[in-house]
Amino acid sequence: MVYGTRSFIRANMGILAGLLVLCVIIAVLNPNFLTTNNLLNVLRQTSTNLYLALAMTMVIILGGIDLSVGSVMAVSGVVTAMLVALFDVPLFIAVAAGLLVGILFGALNGYVAATTVIPPFIITLATMNIGRGAAYVLTDGQPVRVMSDAFNFIGSGYIGGILPTPVLYSIIFVILCYLIMNKTKTGRYIYAVGGNPEAARFSGINIKRVKFFAYTFSGFMAGFAGIVLASRMFSGQPTAGVAAELDAIAAVVLGGTSMTGGYGRIGGTVIGALIIGVLSNGLNLIGVSSFWQYIVKGIVILIAVYADVIKRKTA
């Protein structure tokens, strides 16, 4: 296998070109787009979606889907915020509890997906509702305000006065997920199970374990995203992360991952998430109303994926 930048560019040529064109158009319409501050801002805004999308890439390559991540974000954020604000629990324990909630939801998805024949779409549709409901029940539908500088630093802080903390996490997670998918047994097995489940079974690959891992990891990432988002909003909100799963899926698909499983790349997902981030940032800068932004986003997804399909056919 050839690793490195050249193969990365070759594999993601179409989508990279799309991202560049998008950046150029926006920069022409509003030169402020290209300032360091704004670019870091784009990266920060992209980060929570990226956490979800990275794990979603694994789940989708595996041949599954995880609709519950948006709701899990809300529960984890709410749990951590409540522990800090209402029970005065030490921060790291509160964060650990929030992450644990995410892991438990993911493990539930993974366990049911691995041991039953219920389609993952249905399983995670169910846990999506359970999660959202749990967030509302816990908070009685009200946001939980947090007055803690340490807590707020998690999502709103800067490293060295310049690098936003969420961007730092993004970098760490991208590297981690790249390593998992390309350099570990687990990653190879995810491709195997998604590409040909029968062949995986005949090769003695533990399919249940692979599924359990991917969904649990997705739950963990959702929990992490939820905590970062709560910190950025200075509160745990039961409405946080509504439709976040759809943005994550959009990023994965833009990145060229096959919805039927077996094929996909972490690098593609990073670019996919960036396109979505750049698009909403740019549309804001240009002054397009948020209502219209949905329409533009939908059209861009259709065009980009169609272009990618064409490119793959001719390649």
Partner 1 sequence: MDGNDETTGRVTPITLPSFIEVERMSQKLLQMSGIEKRFAGVHALKGVDFELESGEVHALLGENGAGKSTLMKILAGIYPVDEGEIFIEGNKVSINSVKDAQAYGISIIHQEISLVPHLSVAENIFLGKEPVTKTGWIDWKRMIEETRKTLQQFGLELSPDVQVKKLTVAQQQMIEIIKAVSFRAKMIVMDEPTSSLTEKEVEFLFQTIGHLKEQGVGIVYISHRMNELFAITDRITVLRDGALIGTVRTKETTADQLISMMVGRELTQYYIKDTAPENGGEIVLSVHNLSKKGVLNKAGFELRKGEILGFAGLVGAGRSELMKCIFGLDAFDEGEIRIDGKPLIIRNPNDAIKHGIAYVTENRKEEGLFLIRSVQYNITIKVLDKFIKWWFRVNARYEDQRTRQFIDELSIKTPNPDQEVRNLSGGNQQKVLISRWLATNPRILILDEPTRGVDVGAKAEIYAIMNRLVKEGVSIIMISSELPEVINMSDRIAVMYKGGIRTILNRDEFSQETIMHYATGG
What residues make contact with partner 1 under the rule CB under 8 A?
Answer: 1-3, 179, 183-185, 188-189, 191-192, 195-196, 198-199, 201-206, 262-263
Q: Which is nearer to partner 1, 156 or 196 (CB)?
A: 196
Q: How far apart are CA 270 and CA 276, in angstroms?
A: 10
Q: Which is nearer to partner 1, 3 or 153 (CB)?
A: 3
Query: Could you tell me if 191 and 262 are in contact, meaning their C-beta atoms sit under 8 angstroms apart?
Result: yes
Q: How far is the CB of 48 from partner 1 (least distance, A)?
A: 27
Among positive and negative, which fits the CA dihedral 280, 286, 287, 292? Answer: negative
Q: Which is nearer to partner 1, 38 or 196 (CB)?
A: 196
Q: Which is nearer to partner 1, 145 or 201 (CB)?
A: 201
* Paired strand residues for 164: 158
Which region, left, alpha or beta, applies to residue 111 given φ > 0 means left and ψ of -120 to 50 means alpha? alpha
Q: How far is the CB of 262 from partner 1 (least distance, A)?
A: 6
Q: How far apart are CA 270 and CA 170, in angstroms?
A: 10
255's tokens? 């990145």
Q: How far apart are CA 32 and CA 299, in angstroms?
A: 25
**Cα R_g (the chain), whole angstroms:** 19
Query: Could you tell me if 56 and 244 are in contact, meaning their C-beta atoms sit under 8 angstroms apart?
Result: no
Q: How far is the CB of 141 from partner 1 (least distance, A)?
A: 43
Q: Which is nearer to partner 1, 1 or 28 (CB)?
A: 1
For tokens 């409901």, name the residue. 133
Reduced to 3 states (helix: H, G, I; strand: E, B; else coil), residue 43 is helix
Q: How far is the CB of 179 from partner 1 (least distance, A)?
A: 7
Q: How far is the CB of 194 from partner 1 (least distance, A)?
A: 9
Q: How far is the CB of 180 from partner 1 (least distance, A)?
A: 8
List the one residue out of 66, 64, 50, 57 whose CA is nearest residue 266: 57
Q: Which is nearer to partner 1, 132 or 265 (CB)?
A: 265
Q: How far apart are CA 36 and CA 44, in angstroms?
A: 12
Q: Which is nearer to partner 1, 175 or 295 (CB)?
A: 175
Q: Which is nearer to partner 1, 136 or 263 (CB)?
A: 263
Q: How far is the CB of 123 from partner 1 (least distance, A)?
A: 24
5's tokens? 């930048």
Q: How far is the CB of 258 from partner 1 (least distance, A)?
A: 9
Q: How far apart are CA 128 and CA 40, in angstroms?
A: 31
Q: How far is the CB of 199 from partner 1 (least distance, A)?
A: 5
Q: Which is nearer to partner 1, 40 or 207 (CB)?
A: 207
Counting beta carbons within 10 angstroms of the beta carbon of residue 161, is it exposed (0 to 12), middle (13 to 18) or buried (19 or more)?
Answer: exposed
CB count in 10 Å sphere of residue 233: 18
